């Protein structure tokens, strides 16, 4: 007997959770901000993170800065929503994006995660159980900083991508240079050195070299290339949004 729905909630709690979300959004009623993902307005975005970041989380769909930037890039600069059928892999799917991808992409959209049972397939990104050239597009955000052999994961993404396809592979850039030490496994020490107890490194801008070493051509796209300063403020694209690493596999 199934007691919980696909999101892991008791079905009887769904109306209650919706009511709580609605109540929590009341203080944010206003028009100063617009989320490009759910297209709803608010007075401002919620504070979020540790330490707290201002203008971070959409009160309606829960998106953070990096999700809104990725959505803006995908919508405005890629072929993902051009109506043609394409196979798309979304690793560690974020709830604010997953439903919208699924609605537009239908059966050609696949979600994958190592630990989360809500994903459609279980996947270790360093040992992907799909043939070469399986996917037209891959989206994987804030995963590789958790992966010990990130170079193997990048090589796997390159392997399963079709020639002419693209991957958006995002990580937090929090250092002048990438720092890692596989001997550090203590969560408290990882938190101190890498910023989170389950991170295995801090990436620097040299992250792009790892992607190129895996065989990708990489274009780095900044917020200013996608939105004016006023639009960036309105959409909550603060510096915490980071930048887009748009990786292509030449045909």
- In the complex with Zn ion, the residue whose CB is nearer, 61 or 170, is 61
Of 42, 45, 53, 58, the residue at the interface with Zn ion (CB under 5 A) is 58
Residues 95-154 close enough to bind Zn ion by CB under 5 A: none
Centre a 10 Å sphere on the Cβ of residue 63 and count the other Cβ atoms it contains: 26
Q: Is 72 in the site for Zn ion (CB under 5 A)?
A: no
Q: What Cα–Cα distance (Å) separates residue 222 from each residue in 36, 192, 218, 241, 246? A: 17, 28, 13, 9, 11
What's the rounded Cα separation, in Å, for the pair 214 and 246? 14
- In the complex with Zn ion, the residue whose CB is nearer, 97 or 200, is 97
Q: Is 63 in the site for Zn ion (CB under 5 A)?
A: yes
Q: How far is the CB of 205 from Zn ion (least distance, A)?
A: 29
- In the complex with Zn ion, the residue whose CB is nearer, 25 or 218, is 25
- In the complex with Zn ion, the residue whose CB is nearer, 53 or 60, is 60
Q: Residue 2: which residues within 8 A CB-CB, separation 6 or more? A: none
Cβ-contact 206, 177 below 8 angstroms: yes
- In the complex with Zn ion, the residue whose CB is nearer, 60 or 190, is 60
Q: Is 61 in the site for Zn ion (CB under 5 A)?
A: yes
3-state secondary structure of 202: strand
The stretch among 25-33, 37-45, 131-139, 205-213 that binds Zn ion (CB under 5 A) is 37-45
What's the rounded Cα separation, in Å, for the pair 81 and 71? 11
With CB under 5 A as the rule, give the number of residues binding Zn ion: 7
228 alpha carbon, distance to own chain's centre: 22
Q: How far is the CB of 138 from Zn ion (least distance, A)?
A: 23
Closest CA to 171 of 243, 225, 238: 243
Q: Is 35 in the site for Zn ion (CB under 5 A)?
A: yes
The stretch among 43-51, 58-66, 160-168, 187-195 that binds Zn ion (CB under 5 A) is 58-66
Task: Extract the tokens encoding 240.
Answer: 């915490």
Interface residue list for Zn ion (CB under 5 A): 35, 37-38, 58, 60-61, 63
């Amino acid at each position: 007997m199934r007691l919980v729905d696909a999101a892991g909630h008791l079905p009887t709690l769904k109306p209650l959770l919706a009511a709580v979300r609605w109540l929590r959004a009341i203080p944010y009623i206003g028009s100063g901000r617009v989320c490009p993902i759910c297209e709803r307005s608010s007075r401002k975005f919620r504070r979020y993170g540790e330490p707290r970041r201002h203008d971070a989380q959409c009160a309606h769909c829960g998106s953070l800065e990096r999700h809104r930037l990725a959505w803006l890039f995908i919508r405005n600069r890629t072929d993902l929503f051009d109506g043609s059928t394409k196979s798309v892999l979304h690793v560690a799917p974020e709830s604010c994006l997953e439903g919208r991808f699924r609605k537009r992409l239908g059966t050609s959209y696949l979600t994958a995660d190592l630990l989360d049972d809500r994903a459609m397939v279980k996947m270790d990104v360093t040992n992907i159980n799909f043939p070469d050239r399986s996917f037209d597009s891959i989206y994987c955000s804030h995963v590789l900083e958790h992966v010990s052999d990130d170079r193997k994961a990048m090589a796997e993404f390159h392997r399963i991508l079709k020639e002419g396809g693209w991957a958006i592979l995002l990580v937090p850039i929090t250092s002048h240079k990438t720092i890692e030490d596989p001997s550090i496994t203590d969560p408290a020490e990882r938190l101190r050195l890498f910023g989170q107890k389950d991170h295995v490194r801090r990436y620097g801008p040299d992250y792009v070299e790892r992607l190129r070493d895996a065989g990708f051509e990489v274009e780095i796209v900044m917020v200013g290339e996608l939105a004016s300063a006023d639009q960036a403020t309105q959409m909550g694209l603060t510096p915490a949004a980071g930048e887009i690493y748009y990786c292509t596999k030449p045909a």
